[in-house]
């Protein structure tokens, strides 16, 4: 009798389980064999490390149901960084760890982080990305065919050149500076008397090597990983004029194709990978740990640290640019950002 009851119970359990397994198989069948993740930089840059880590964590947290391959160098859009967000919206790219700078031509509000001298330090940046301003920007992105999941960080952008130390706006006069493809950057460097030249990162390195351009602006982690000191960049000025947050996102249709369980796994993986990536991007450049700066100095680079008065001169020179772009970004958003920064701990 017991064995009969056990048999019947087993049949009942199988009846309940089989449909579930079939449904699971159907869901798995809808998944792509590989999802394409776009980044501008690969390893060993923090940006690439973050993207690689996200892919690793997603595979782990979904039990291998979602497999991601990272495509650095924005190779999915032939290296054109400014086309990445459009390709993401169209589904050519499934996922991305993207720069607010590169996506700003399509999402003007993301220019907020490129307003010259808006954010004085990492706490100010965190006040924006981890507060109401960050939520507002994520809500906006969510209306543009993507699902934003977490904030990463490329870092504060410092300026280097092959000519001479930069301490005043006059030191930039006529200097050819490589900038990303953003009109705001053109306006900023034009206001400082420089000759800004737009080019992709892939083109920037040989241009620096040959002297086709004199200088560039990038976070210190990129300065070291790209070995810019070997490309004639022997003068580095720490001015922290803008920061470049990264955003971990998924194409909206791709996101909708996943089960709720896998969506939460991908989100958790993004949050974890982003936190790890931010920590890497800040390593060695803080008051508590300046090991990266020491490494740069050891490479024969003259590092200039601006005094508050010297930095004020650059801020004054770029104030008209700040005012012009505040109107385009949205005065209310800029005001909210300024309030959040002022209230930071």
Mean pLDDT, to the nearest integer, of 143-171? 98
Residue 8 to residue 31: CA distance in whole angstroms: 35
pLDDT digit string (tens) for 67-94?
999 999 999 999 999 899 999 999 999 9
Q: Which are the contacts of 314, defined by CB distance < 8 A and separation ≥ 6?
A: 116, 117, 168, 169, 192, 239, 241, 306
Tell me the average pLDDT of the chain: 92
The answer to whether 94 and 249 are in contact (CB under 8 A) is no
Quick one: 158-242+287-342 is in which CATH superfamily?
Bacterial extracellular solute-binding protein, family 7 (3.40.190.170)
Is the pLDDT confidence value at 23 over 70?
no
pLDDT band with cut points at 50, 70 and 90 for residue 28: low
Least confident of 5-14, 166-175, 287-296: 5-14
Domain boundaries, the chain: 33-154+245-282, 158-242+287-342
| Same topology between domain 33-154+245-282 and domain 158-242+287-342 | yes
Is the pLDDT confidence value at 4 over 80?
no
Question: Tokens representing 272?
Answer: 């974890």
pLDDT band with cut points at 50, 70 and 90 for residue 181: confident
β partners of residue 150: 248
Is the pLDDT confidence value at 13 over 60?
no
CATH class of the domain whose range is 33-154+245-282: alpha beta
């Amino acid at each position: 009798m017991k064995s009969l009851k056990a048999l019947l119970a087993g049949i009942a359990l199988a009846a309940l389980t089989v449909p579930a397994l079939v449904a699971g198989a159907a869901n798995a069948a809808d998944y792509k064999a590989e999802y394409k993740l776009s980044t501008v930089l690969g390893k060993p840059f923090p940006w690439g490390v973050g993207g690689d880590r996200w892919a690793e964590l997603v595979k782990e947290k979904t039990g291998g149901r979602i497999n991601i391959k990272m495509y650095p160098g924005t190779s999915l859009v032939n290296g054109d960084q400014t086309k990445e967000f459009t390709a993401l919206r169209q589904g050519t790219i499934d996922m991305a760890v993207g720069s607010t700078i590169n996506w700003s031509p399509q999402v003007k509000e993301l220019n907020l982080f490129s307003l010259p001298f808006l954010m004085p330090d990492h706490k100010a940046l965190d006040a924006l990305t981890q507060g109401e301003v960050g939520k507002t920007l994520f809500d906006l992105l969510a209306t543009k065919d993507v699902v934003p999941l977490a904030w990463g960080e490329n870092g504060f952008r410092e300026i280097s050149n092959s000519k001479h130390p930069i301490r005043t706006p006059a030191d930039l006069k006529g200097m050819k500076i490589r900038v990303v493809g953003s009109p705001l950057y053109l306006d900023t460097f034009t206001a400082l008397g420089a000759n800004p030249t737009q080019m992709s990162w892939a083109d920037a390195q040989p241009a620096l090597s040959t002297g086709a351009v004199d200088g560039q602006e990038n976070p210190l982690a990129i300065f070291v990983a790209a070995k810019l000191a070997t490309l004639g960049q022997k003068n580095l000025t720490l001015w922290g004029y803008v920061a470049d947050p990264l955003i971990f996102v998924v194409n909206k249709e791709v996101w909708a194709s996943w089960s709720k369980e896998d969506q939460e796994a991908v989100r958790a993986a993004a949050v974890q990978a982003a936190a790890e990536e931010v920590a890497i991007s800040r390593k060695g450049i803080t008051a508590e740990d300046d090991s990266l700066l020491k490494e740069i100095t050891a490479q024969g680079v003259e590092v200039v640290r601006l005094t508050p008065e010297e930095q004020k001169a650059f801020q004054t020179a770029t104030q008209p640019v700040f005012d012009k772009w505040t109107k385009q970004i949205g005065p209310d958003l800029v005001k909210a950002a300024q309030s959040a920064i002022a209230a930071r701990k």
